[in-house]
A and B are shown apart, each in its own frame.
Chain A
Amino acid sequence: MLRKVIKSNEFVIFLILAFLSLMVGTINPAFFSISTVFDILRAAIVYFIMAFGLLPIMIAGGIDISFVAIAAVTSYATHMLLIKYGYQGGIVPYYLIACAMGLLAGLLNGFLVTRFNLPVFNVSLATFTMWYGFNLFFVGATSNFDLPKGTVGYYAKFLITSQDPLVGTTGLHVSILYVIVIGVFIWWLLKYTTIGRGVYAIGGNREVAIRSGFNVTMIMLVIFAIMGILSAIAGVTQAFLSRYFNPVIFIGQPLDVLAAVILGGASVTGGRGSVIGTALGVLLIQLINRTLILTGIPVEWQKLVLGIILILFTSIPALRERRVRRMGHTTELLQE
């Protein structure tokens, strides 16, 4: 059991995380504070949610990038719609309307993929550019800062707060709860339902999955619907965390999320991937992004350091896998 844990990809990512934290902490002891943890988690919240939505699709063997566009169009369109009718209430209608839109947008992807037998990536590329274009042309092209009265304090609604001598009061935002609920849901879905096992089966071998009686069309539609809904939740959450609605939110981020999921052990060709690995992958990318500033590296060179770290840390799992491959297929099977 312990051997299995140590040999897993999740454990390697965890080691890299721990190593990186130690290094940053040695350079700048300010890193080891509860406020840093809260800050990284706050930045990671929406990426967790989007990555969890992407995970089942990756396991089923598809690569999707349209989830960011769905997040942008659902959150921004919901906001403009509610503002137009002078809405001043709470946050719940935002989530409800955006999720309904997200469901439809996800189903559109799913429909195109299953009905016309298309690669997920191609469809998502088309809907990516389509939704951003739709948002900017038909809904609006400028950021909107007018929040309804009922939602004004939401960005600072904390679960736990802590006093920090340097930065003052910091807290863990309530939306971390959504992440936990969604994470547990996806984990349960993948592990204990027929749909979840079907997702792995499709990723492993689509033809075999069909012949073993899995309803591939239905499974694909369900996971795309989930992706759409989770994207909508991520879009609305991010807008309220940053207190404005941006029509092109996340436009540069799809590949970051994709990288986090792949780094977390999901295979690009499908069949592999786990919720824990994905969460660790997201955390790793956010940790690198947010903590470089603490190391004292000049701002203009931080991106270079980020690049070097990414090159190193994507090479480590690849080198490990090469060793396994060189040992031969049979050895791998014997170890299982």
Chain B
Amino acid sequence: MTTRPKTSLSKERLMSFFKAAYIDSQTLQLVGVFVVLVIFFAAIDKKFLSSQSITSMGFQLPELGVLSLAMMLTILTGGINLSVNATSNLDAVLAGFFMLKVVPPDATGVQMVFYIGVALLIALLVGLITGIVNGFLIGYIGVNPILATLATMTFFTGISTGLTGGATVTGFPESLAVIGHEKLLGIPIPFIIFVLLTILTHYLLYRTAFGFKLRMLGSNPVASEFSAIENKTVLMKTYVLSGILSAVTGILIMSRTMSAAIEYGTTTYVLLTILISVLANVVSGFGNVINVFISIIILQILSTGFHMILAGIRGSSFFKDFAWGVLLILIFIVNYFVYQRERS
């Protein structure tokens, strides 16, 4: 039995622990930003750390969070999915139509649960179909992902617009609101869904053969094709997953607002999900789900925090956009210097 020298124990163990827990330098940086921001906002306004404000954040961030996961998967393959938000709105509109047209007004409790279950399944199924359309265009025809998903974004929005005539769909059964408004063990249900999906995505990317193929395809499509990876199939599966995750967002939005419309989110959501991936340093082939998770929380903190501090000032809700941009640039610059130091 040999004893390990004491000096290597701390650093080596720490490094191997970090590696096992998928923590990289970007994670540490983001956690640092997170801590600084929380201390900053808590120091200015005591209300920031009140359970009420934390709960409201827990209700707000999952929509964008799940959508970011949908975006992240496609960015990992070297593509992009600009139709995520159009997909979630289309799913919500179709599920909403089902509930309005099919569900009898005098349905009992059990029947209601059944009908809502079917509506949610419809939403997920539509998400799957939209994913197949994207996957076919990108994987099989070979259209550039930006162009393909921009076209399908218009196409999906077009279906929703045609069906709703541009109006907001309302009048859903009351029990649907459970998903978007209730808490389980004191934690908002949307947040639980978001955390579960984050863990699932992480597992998928790092513990399954599909996740490995997905990342290989992203880092070098030619090499992966020659390594007996069916690029087409992997792309198809990725965009289908992205569509289903977008559908979950659609369900969350529908349940929170108790309505469905074409204009929820629109362009800002799409760009925000890309921004989150950029903040989390997700590039084709390489990305960390934990970083995406922390990035979403940071954006929400900036948004809620500045909203609290600047309450009453004209246009206060717009300051966060400015702050997001500045934060992003600062992180880029810090990353650059960290990278320079690591190299030398």
Contacts and interface: CB of A to CB of B under 8 A. Distances in A.
Interface of A: 63, 65, 112, 116-118, 121-123, 125-134, 136-138, 140-141, 251-252, 255-256, 258-259, 262-263, 268, 298, 300-308, 310-311, 314-315, 318-319, 321-322
A318 B320 CA distance: 39
B315 A136 contact: yes
B182 interface: no
Given A311-B137, A315-B143, A129 B278 contact: no
Given A130-B321, A141-B314, A262-B147, A318 B328 contact: no
A132 B158 CA distance: 27
B301 to A, nearest CB: 16
Nearest to A313: B151
A125 B137 CA distance: 26
Nearest to A256: B150
Given A112-B332, A133-B323, 19 more contacts: A118-B336, A125-B271, A125-B328, A126-B332, A129-B275, A129-B322, A133-B322, A134-B322, A255-B146, A259-B146, A259-B147, A268-B146, A300-B161, A303-B157, A304-B158, A314-B151, A318-B142, A318-B144, A319-B141
Interface in B230-268: 266-268
A133 B325 contact: yes
18 contacts: A126-B328, A130-B322, A133-B325, A134-B325, A141-B315, A141-B318, A256-B150, A258-B146, A262-B144, A262-B147, A268-B144, A301-B158, A304-B158, A304-B162, A305-B158, A306-B158, A307-B153, A318-B143
Contact of B319 (A133, A140, A311): A133
A137 B162 CA distance: 35
A307 B147 contact: no
Contacts of A311: 137, 148, 151-152, 155
Given A252-B266, A307-B152, A118 B325 contact: no
A319 B162 CA distance: 29
A219 B308 CA distance: 44
A302 B150 CA distance: 16
A307 B324 contact: no
Given A141-B318, A308-B155, A122 B143 contact: no
A315 B137 contact: yes
Contact of B321 (A116, A136, A314): A136
B319 A137 contact: yes
A68 to B, nearest CB: 10
Interface residues of B, number: 48
A-B pairs with the 3 shortest C-beta distances? A130-B325, A307-B155, A133-B321
A127 B325 contact: yes
Residue of A123, A138, A262, A303 with most chain B CB atoms under a 10 A cut-off: A303
Nearest to A269: B144
Nearest to A298: B162
Nearest to B83: A307
A203 to B, nearest CB: 15
B314 to A, nearest CB: 7
Given A116-B332, A315-B137, A322-B142, A304 B321 contact: no
Given A112-B332, A126-B332, A318-B144, A304 B159 contact: yes
Contacts of B316: 137
B271 A129 contact: yes
B154 interface: yes
B155 A310 contact: yes
A261 to B, nearest CB: 10
B319 A303 contact: no
Nearest to A312: B151
Given A133-B319, A141-B315, A300 B150 contact: no
B204 interface: no
Contacts of B333: 116
B329 A123 contact: yes
A314 B143 contact: yes
B157 A128 contact: no
A129 B324 contact: yes
Residue of B152, B161, B316 with most chain A CB atoms under a 10 A cut-off: B161
B117 interface: no
A61 to B, nearest CB: 14
Nearest to B278: A122
B32 interface: no
B155 A304 contact: yes
B121 interface: no
Residue of B162, B268, B275, B324 with most chain A CB atoms under a 10 A cut-off: B162
A127 B323 CA distance: 11
A126 B325 contact: yes
Contacts of A259: 146-147, 150
Contacts of A131: 325
Contacts of B67: none
Contacts of A298: 162
Contacts of B164: 300
B178 interface: no
Contact of B332 (A122, A137, A258, A301): A122
